[in-house]
Amino acid sequence: MSGTTDMIRIYSQNVWKNYVLLDSLLESQKDLYDILFIQEPPWNFICFAPSTTASGGDEVVGAPIHPDWTQVVRFPQNSEQTPRVMCFIHSRLSRLCFALRRDIVDHRDIQLLFFFNRGRCQFLMNVYSDDLHTAVDFLSNTAPNIPHLLYMGGDFNVRDAEWDPSVSSHLAAGQALMDLAESYSLVHSIPALSVPTHYSDISGHANSVIDLILLGMSCAQVTHRIEPDLRRPSDHAPLLVDLPIAPENICVRRMVLKCDSEEEAAFLLSVSEGLSQLNFSSLDSTAGLNLLSEAISGLLADCWATYAKKNTITTWSKEW
């Protein structure tokens, strides 16, 4: 097997904390998909393990495992913080060196994965946002710290006319999600067949579209599939997508200031003028130092946002 691939097959589903369902998915999808993105995974008592401190053994708690899949999860510090997202990477992708970037996002509802393909670092995100939209709010507040994404998908619990035909208006939560997607240069993937993703078992509650896939601009024409017949005991249908990851399909955008350009000169001038107007007289206390640090950070961010330009990196770009 080579260390590269041109396509990753992704299966995403909220499994409704069903241990048996997830266990069966690991076996039934092992030859069909490369990554399983799971929302609301089970986190159950499994067995007692031999212990040097407890006569009855130590409790083993977690989700199913399978020899063909590597489980990637943020292990909880306590029973109140059990993970609400997890993923499984098939062993055939082991040479892509997938890893969880908890240094960037450390949250029970969000997984930020990166992998290497032909020397490039690329990112995928698995999201569960509850009825309070906590994950979307968290990401909106930390957006500048998230690298370029190829994929963001999961159960967002957000209904909006943009993706749900049964909704007649654009809602604030939907707009917040679209604003977040735009900040990451992501577009809403259109399903090959538009059907609900969530099937309510409550009388009088309509089925809805709350599970979504958002893709990088280079994959804007890629469609995903919604498969209600495969949802089994879950109330959510799985979302399936074949994600192209060949270098020619990767379009990385970043903000830059070209050396010796007019924009660089204007940026430096604005920073200089802004620094000259700051108050440096209160550095004899921790609070004063913190205030000055925040003011300098805000000044630099504002000037960068004003003068930096978007730059697109392709396979033909120079390495320097």
Position 167 scores a pLDDT of 92
Position 234 scores a pLDDT of 96
pLDDT tens, position by position, 141-176: 887 778 779 999 999 999 999 999 999 988 899 999
Domains parsed from the chain with CATH numbers: 7-47+56-250 (3.60.10.10), 254-313 (no CATH)
Position 202 scores a pLDDT of 87
Residue type, 190: I
Supply the pTM of this predicted model.
0.77
pLDDT tens, position by position, 142-151: 877 787 799 9
Candidates 172, 184, 161; CA nearest to 251 is 184
User: CB count, 10 Å around CB of 285?
Assistant: 9
* Cβ-contact 162, 179 below 8 angstroms: no
Tokens for 69, please give them: 């899949």
Position 150 scores a pLDDT of 93
Position 17 scores a pLDDT of 96
Query: Worst-scoring range by mean pLDDT, 117-121, 170-174, 198-202?
Result: 117-121
Position 254 scores a pLDDT of 60
Per-position b or e across 141-167, b if 16+ CB within 10 A of its CB: eeeeebebbbbbbbbbbbbbebbbeeb
Average pLDDT over residues 236-263: 79
Q: Binning pLDDT at 50, 70 and 90, where does residue 85 land?
A: very high
Report which of residues 271 and 253 the model is more confident about: 271
Position 179 scores a pLDDT of 92
Average pLDDT over residues 176-195: 94
Query: Worst-scoring range by mean pLDDT, 115-124, 176-185, 248-257, 273-282?
Result: 248-257
Residue 187: is its pLDDT beyond 70?
yes
Percent of the chain at pLDDT exceeding 90:
57
User: CB count, 10 Å around CB of 49?
Assistant: 10
How high does pLDDT run on average in the chain?
A: 88
Average pLDDT over residues 106-111: 95
Q: Which residues pair with 13 in a beta bridge?
A: 38
Average pLDDT over residues 242-268: 78
Residue 103: is its pLDDT beyond 50?
yes
